[in-house]
Amino acid sequence: MDSREARRAEILDGRSIAEQIKHEVAQEVQRLREDQGVKPRLCAVLVGDDDASAVYVRNKVRACDQVGINSEQLDLPDSTTTRELLVVVTRLNEHQDVDGILVQLPLPKHIDEASILEAVDPAKDVDGFHPTNVGLLAMGRPRFVPCTPAGIIELLERNQIEIAGANACVVGRSQIVGRPVASLLLQRHATVTICHSRTRDLPSVTRQADILIAAIGRAGFIRGDFIKPGATVIDVGVNKITDAAAAHALFGDETDKRIEAIARRGYTLVGDVHPAEADLVAGRRTPVPGGVGLLTVAMLMRNTLQAAKWRRGV
């Protein structure tokens, strides 16, 4: 039996759900404009010349155009200091026509990231990173939920994957993904385990999970023996692979397409989950690309719409 015949995991398409969410947001944006004369506005701040960050911001600005949200991109040089960036953030806080502020991470190492995130007005913090919004989420009273965790929940719920009563395991404890998604799962009555670099015998823990979320930033780290048969596997990682031999080991029947991508642009993308091995064990999994990343952008659109409504008492 070849790998194509052996494959059993259903691929969870993030693209179709992201398009659904953006369509819903676009309809609400239109109603808000017609009923209140308000058009939401998002301002994205990009510091430095990191190529990946530039692509992410460009995708977010493009999504704003698709749903009818006004957007502005502020490009600042890598030499920008913490003090200078704080001045920019303060100015955006004071602008009444700016509903959402997004400071693209990561920032250059010389900038105090925590100070910048804390300076953003919590009512405009559409990334959900301000301590006030983090605290509200932890209390079960979320105002803005970080976009990737929110997208994961949408993916599960819109695919009618039962969360209540499920054993859920989150591999990774970042403030951006791991901890907030664990909180959201717990609020939906899952039994949640968070794993990290100090977890002993990691595969024995992850194999208990009905829902396994990988968010650690290590290419293909979650192998087949980490996965409970039939589990739903959500892959948050985005890692570049430049070696054809590594692509062959990871992608099975998709190898030719991935090697072509490496030859054409110098790399292909893989998540934190080993796709070929996961397909032989998991019941469902998200692809990379085409999975969680698209939902992250869609949820940013929803958060920006929500900010515009809340700030105006709509």
- Listed in sequence order, the residues at least 6 apart from 127 whose beta carbon sits closer than 8 Å to its beta carbon are 102, 103, 144, 146, 147, 300, 303
| 104 carries an active-site annotation | yes
Site of tokens 């990231």? 113
Mapped onto helix, strand or coil, the DSSP state of residue 290 is: coil
Residues 53 and 238: beta-carbon distance below 8 Å: no
Q: CA end-to-end span of the chain, whole Å?
A: 58
3-class secondary-structure state, position 72:
strand
257 carries an active-site annotation: no
Catalytic residue among 121, 125, 127, 235: 127
194 φ/ψ angles, rounded to the nearest 5 degrees:
-110, 125
Q: Which of 172, 207, 165, 214 is nearest to 186 (CA)?
A: 165
Do 314 and 32 meet the contact criterion of CB atoms below 8 Å apart? yes
Under 8 Å CB-to-CB from 81, ≥6 apart: which residues? Answer: 110, 111
Asked if 102 and 45 touch (Cβ cutoff 8 Å), the reply is yes
DSSP SS3 for 311: helix
38 backbone dihedrals φ, ψ, rounded to 5°: -115, 135
How many whole angstroms separate alpha carbon 169 and alpha carbon 212? 5
Given the residues 99, 104, 121, 235, the one annotated as active site: 104
| 127 catalytic residue (yes or no) | yes
Give the C-alpha separation, 229 to 294, whole Å.
Answer: 27
Candidate list 22, 60, 124, 228, residue with the active-site label: 60
Active site residues: 60, 104, 127
